[in-house]
Amino acid sequence: MTSRQHRRRVRVWFGEHVIAQYVAEAPLAARYEQAMRRRFAGLRVTNDVLGPLDSH
């Protein structure tokens, strides 16, 4: 496995619009996700595996 396969994409959504996006290794992405959930409690926050064809 390459390190790219361990990367995650965290996004903060306002309705159907992404207002913030962060790509990092899994532990950092999880930390960022928790911070965004605290800061934007009313918005959807997703944390997805970054696929091989995805870019920042």
Residue percentage of the chain with pLDDT more than 70 = 84
Q: Is 12 exposed, middle or buried (0-12, 13-18, 19+ CB in 10 A)?
A: buried
Distance between CA atoms of 44 and 33, rounded to whole angstroms?
10
Domain of 41? Answer: 3-48
Label residue 53 by pLDDT band (50, 70, 90): low
For residue 53, tell me if it sits in a domain.
no
Domain count across the chain: 1
Predicted model pTM? 0.83
Longest dimension (CA), the chain: 36
Q: Average pLDDT in the 6-29 region?
A: 98
For residue 56, tell me if it sits in a domain.
no
